[in-house]
């Protein structure tokens, strides 16, 4: 079974989701199934069938999260001492020379990548171009809308 790298924060979010599913959603759906069953004939009971379908989704998600966590190689960026080099888990502040603005990204695993939270996947073109570079380095990245040039302003491990 191959390991999947994930930050400590990403693993904690997965654990929180798993805990919520097991302690809140699963008991709630079991209660809904019991209530629907108490209404009599379940063969034509829409509430019962909907609750059973929801239970299937919940159980599937629990299994998925448990598998992901069992395969996770957890890396805590705060414990990394890469001496200013961009590595997995690093938070990198960049100057975008094309749009003349600064952007900040954290390089994370595929499981936790979320552009809305400025977390980019280690397998993304931007992250691959950044890995191994240092503050002050210039990089060019081929993105869907063309070539982007960035200067690495700051590298942090938080």
- pLDDT tens by residue, 88-143: 999 999 999 878 899 999 999 999 999 999 999 999 999 999 999 999 999 999 98
Both tokens assigned to 23: 């302690």
- Report d(CA 66, CA 72) in Å as an integer: 10
Planar angle of CA 47, 52, 54, nearest 5 degrees: 95
Please tell me if the domain spanning 4-75 has the same topology as the one spanning 77-156.
Answer: no
- pLDDT score, position 143: 83
Among 3.50.50.60, 1.10.8.80, 1.10.287.180, 1.10.3720.10, name the CATH number for the domain at 4-75. 1.10.287.180
Given pLDDT bands bounded at 50, 70 and 90, which one contains residue 23?
Answer: very high
Please give the helix or strand (H or E) that residue 148 lies within, else none: strand 146-156
Fold of 77-156: Chitinase A; domain 3 (3.10.50)
Q: Which position has the token pair 């936790």?
A: 112
- Report d(CA 4, CA 115) in Å as an integer: 19
Domain boundaries, given as residue ranges, for the chain: 4-75, 77-156
- pLDDT score, position 64: 96
């Amino acid at each position: 079974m191959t390991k999947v790298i994930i930050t400590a924060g990403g693993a904690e979010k997965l654990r929180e989701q798993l805990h919520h599913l097991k302690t809140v959603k699963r008991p709630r759906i079991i209660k809904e199934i019991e209530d629907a069953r108490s209404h009599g004939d379940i063969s034509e009971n829409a509430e019962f069938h909907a609750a059973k379908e929801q239970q299937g989704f919940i159980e599937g998600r629990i299994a998925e999260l448990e598998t992901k966590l069992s395969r996770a190689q957890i890396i805590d960026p705060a414990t990394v001492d890469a001496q200013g080099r961009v590595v997995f888990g690093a938070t990198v502040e960049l100057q975008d020379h094309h749009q003349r603005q600064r952007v900040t990204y954290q390089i994370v695993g595929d499981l936790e990548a979320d552009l809305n939270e400025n977390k980019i996947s280690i397998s993304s073109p931007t992250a691959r171009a950044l890995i191994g570079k240092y503050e002050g380095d210039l990089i060019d990245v081929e993105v869907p809308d063309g070539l982007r040039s960035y200067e690495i302003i700051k590298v942090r491990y938080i």
